[in-house]
Amino acid sequence: MYFTDAHEELRQHIRRFLEKEVKPHLEEWERTLFPDSILARFGELGFLGLRYPPEYGGQGGDYFSAVVLAEEMARAGSGGLGMAVHVQSEMATPPIFKFGTEEQKQRFLVPAIQGTAIAAIAMTEPDAGSDLAGIQTVARPADDGYVINGRKIFITNGARAHWVLVVTKTDRERGHKGYNLIVVEKGTPGFTVTRTLEKLGMHSSDTAELLFEDCRVPAGNLIGEPGDGFKDLMWELQGERMIAAVGAIAGAERIVDYAMEYARNRQAFGKPISQHQVIRHRLVDMGTKVASVKAFVYETARRWGEGEYPVREITQAKLLATQVAVEVADDAIQVLGGHGYMREFPVERAWRDARLARIGAGTDEIMKEIIAKTYGL
């Protein structure tokens, strides 16, 4: 219904690549971070531009090409790397493509698709996460450009990025009309990576705090029309939440499959634990949750890919998929018992990695507030 033969061919191509060049290194990268060279390899193979037109180095695919990539990244168990790839291809670059000028697409989008430039998007601040209207990073017009002052935190790819799409306020008095999205390039005076943060999961990716002190950027780095930054950011967040839902439910499906296989082979009280009703019913509940949410995620992804703007459904999909991912990972730990708590088994890392998705791109609580508004509540 959603996948063509071309999608399945792409899936096999991605799967072979991940099996050969990514999975053997995942444990090492959990300790050391993945190298920049692997993102370059993704670009070389065309995986960072699956949905972009060929004139920018993309593959010209549809949205389900991105779904295939997200599913295969989840299947490989590469949470941190998968997040970095999605930041590159589904979060930082879409606003450049949709709102940027031709010159900006050549400067920023093309190298990101090629994998020769690593991209990041910087929204969250130490005192403004869910409340994006409360950000304090200011971009003051000056000469032929802007001077940026402020701090951003929890930025995926932030430590290694060649350019960062920064959410700024230019005019505090204009409310939502006073925001701008501005690209800040690595090496710009006044732009500093102050520290790389340690975190519960997603250990293979870098998460950074960024500082802007009288950071001067040219007017040509403004993405979109002046004052449209908040509106453009709200559009970006729909794509971010959609791909988060896809990856979360694919990761959950992987863990359910693993827990079922484990239960078929693990013996207790003289028989496989899958034959004990308490375990069997738990596995059934896990599988049923995943199947139902996956169907909803696919249908919502179809609508988004066809150009609709289904805010309620995207928000519901993100909320449900990320919650289910954490729930089934926790259930899988229970099924495996002590083994589930050990790092040598994949469910431990799956639980740690899955937990982030209920915070990033909008917390559960913010998702519920958005959904409530769509119901007129």
CATH number of 119-226: 2.40.110.10
What's residue 201's pLDDT?
Answer: 97
Q: Is 30 a catalytic residue?
A: no
15, 212, 304, 358 from 248: Cα distances, Å: 18, 33, 17, 10
What's residue 205's pLDDT?
Answer: 97
| CA angle centred on 329, ends 328 and 335, rounded to 5° | 85
State how far the Cα of 81 lies from the Cα of 72, in Å rounded to an integer: 12
21, 78, 113, 205 from 29: Cα distances, Å: 12, 10, 23, 8
State how far the Cα of 165 lies from the Cα of 182, in Å rounded to an integer: 6
Closest CA to 250 of 155, 331, 336, 317: 317
Helix (H, G, I), strand (E, B) or coil at 103: helix
**What is the CATH T-level fold of the domain 231-374, as seen in this structure?**
Butyryl-CoA Dehydrogenase, subunit A; domain 3 (1.20.140)
pLDDT digit string, tens, across residues 298-356 = 999 999 999 999 999 999 999 999 999 999 999 999 999 999 999 999 999 999 999 99
What's residue 176's pLDDT?
Answer: 83
Give me the residue spans of the domains in the chain. 5-114, 119-226, 231-374
> Which residue ranges of the chain lie beneath pLDDT 50?
none
What's residue 279's pLDDT?
Answer: 98
- pTM metric for this prediction: 0.96
What's residue 72's pLDDT?
Answer: 98
What's residue 171's pLDDT?
Answer: 81
Q: Of 240, 253, 313, 348, which residue is the catalytic one?
A: 240
Let me know if domain 5-114 sits in CATH 1.10.1300.10: no
